[in-house]
Chain A
Amino acid sequence: MADLSGKITELGKKILVSVGKNNKPTYAVMAIATANGIFKPISSLTDKKEKPEARKYAALREFATECVAVPTYWACGVGAATLGAKLFKNNPEKKAMARANMMFLGVCTAALLVIPAVCSVALWGLDKALGKDKPKSKEPAKLDVTSPAPEMQIQTDTSTKFGNNIYRPNMNTFMLKGGLKI
């Protein structure tokens, strides 16, 4: 048991020395994004002021945001650091400094531009998959009394067919000539 705790202490010491020598900007941001991906959805799910459906949706969005953030921080940080090292490959003194500074700039670019942009696209896709981008169909329909009434078919041809003979009553008798004559 004492041997195991000694090994854990030694491992902890190695990790601390490594962080002390080079505290890469990706360590902090990736650790925070991972923790955000766990605790922020839990926090949203426990918000009693929101409806259960809204809570679940907010938690899913937060989880998706952090799922995008973790690999983006890593990719931007490591990519920028590699570029920094290539720019100073002939100057070993400045190479380490350029690597660290470029990694920091990469992480900053990820936080300011890349993650919000990727999230906009990814969350739009998520909304589309969940059908959240469509207008709600459950909304009660407005009672619109100005809407036109359905057209009714009115028979204007008053002729009645009896076989091949057409009998046309003279409507003028009633309509135009009818009424009280003064």
Chain B
Amino acid sequence: MIPPILTNPVIYNITQTTQAQVAIETGLKAVGRPGFILLDNSIDKNTKKYSSMKEFLYQLTCLGVSLGVVIPVFKKGSFAIARKLFKDEAVFQAFKKSDDFNKFRKLTQDEKILKLNEINSATGKNYTFDNINEDLAKGMIEVTSIAGSILGLSILSPLISRPFIRPVLKSLGMSEKKPTQSDSAKVDVKA
């Protein structure tokens, strides 16, 4: 028996959106990586706890930075960039913001034609259903989201998390155990 999740349209829509992909993948990393650190028997208990918590907080920072700041900014700016790159494309002239285009994409074909007539009457242009390149606009949104994810996850998160994670771990009563001078020079005087 094949599970219905494989042909579920909701899952399909999620798989086609970079923002959702990145959110789910980072969430799974936040569970999987600390989990495997905790399962490692070659590390002592305190180090395991410290490292797994550090990894968990790092992934949470990644999630927050990417979804809260970077992807939304890039998504909004995607159509502004596209208008400069593809000056003749009707889709980027008809829709000023990516959110307006996303609402349009969800409509049925008849509703789309009605919406375009509405835009035509407001702007005095003549946009038709055929000259609106939906795939190009969708691709622009997704590619800028990928670029935003790279900036957020690979460049900004390591810089932001560095001064943030250590104080949080300290406030939770966790610290990286390093051999101290007093430990190494301990004299065992038991007779």
Residues of chain A whose beta carbon lies under 8 Å from any beta carbon of chain B? 9, 12-13, 15-23, 25, 27-29, 31-32, 35-36, 38-40, 43-44, 47, 49, 84, 87-88, 94, 97-98, 100-105, 107-108, 111-113, 115-117, 119-120, 124, 133, 139-140, 142-146
CB distance from A17 to the nearest CB of B (A): 5
CB nearest neighbor in B for A41: B158
**Which residues of A sit under 8 angstroms from B33, Cβ to Cβ?**
116
Q: Which of B114-122, B123-131, B167-175, B182-190 contacts A (4 or more CB under 8 A)?
A: B182-190
A104 and B21 contact, CB distance less than 8 A: yes
CB distance from B180 to the nearest CB of A (A): 12
A25 and B188 contact, CB distance less than 8 A: no
A23 and B18 contact, CB distance less than 8 A: yes
CB distance from B4 to the nearest CB of A (A): 10
- What are 5 sample pairs from A and B whose C-beta atoms fall under 8 A apart? A19-B139, A20-B140, A32-B146, A107-B25, A146-B191
Given contacts A17-B133, A117-B36, A142-B188, contact A29 B21 (CB under 8 A): yes
**Which residues of A sit under 8 angstroms from B140, Cβ to Cβ?**
16, 20
Among A29, A87, A103, the residue within 8 A (CB) of B25 is A29
Given contacts A35-B150, A39-B155, A108-B28, contact A139 B139 (CB under 8 A): no
CB nearest neighbor in B for A96: B12
B7 and A17 contact, CB distance less than 8 A: no
Cα A26 to Cα B68 in complex, Å, equals 22
Residues of chain B whose beta carbon lies under 8 Å from any beta carbon of chain A? 2, 5-9, 11-12, 14-18, 21-22, 24-25, 28-29, 31-33, 35-36, 40, 42, 85-86, 133-140, 142-143, 145-146, 149-150, 153-155, 158-159, 162, 179, 184-191
CB nearest neighbor in A for B186: A142
A97 and B9 contact, CB distance less than 8 A: yes
Cα A28 to Cα B35 in complex, Å, equals 24
Interface pairs A-B: 10 shortest CB-CB: A20-B139, A16-B139, A20-B135, A20-B138, A116-B36, A35-B154, A43-B158, A104-B15, A19-B139, A112-B32
Given contacts A13-B136, A16-B140, contact A98 B189 (CB under 8 A): no
A15 and B146 contact, CB distance less than 8 A: no
A28 and B149 contact, CB distance less than 8 A: yes
**Most chain B beta-carbon neighbours within 10 Å: one of A23, A107, A108, A146:** A23
B12 and A101 contact, CB distance less than 8 A: yes
**Most chain A beta-carbon neighbours within 10 Å: one of B17, B40, B42, B146:** B146
B6 and A87 contact, CB distance less than 8 A: yes
Cα A119 to Cα B15 in complex, Å, equals 26
CB nearest neighbor in B for A19: B139
CB distance from A158 to the nearest CB of B (A): 33
CB nearest neighbor in B for A143: B187
A25 and B21 contact, CB distance less than 8 A: yes
**Most chain A beta-carbon neighbours within 10 Å: one of B25, B42, B140, B145:** B25
A28 and B24 contact, CB distance less than 8 A: no
Among B25, B40, B158, B184, the residue within 8 A (CB) of A39 is B158
Cα A91 to Cα B190 in complex, Å, equals 79
A25 and B15 contact, CB distance less than 8 A: yes
Cα A23 to Cα B142 in complex, Å, equals 7
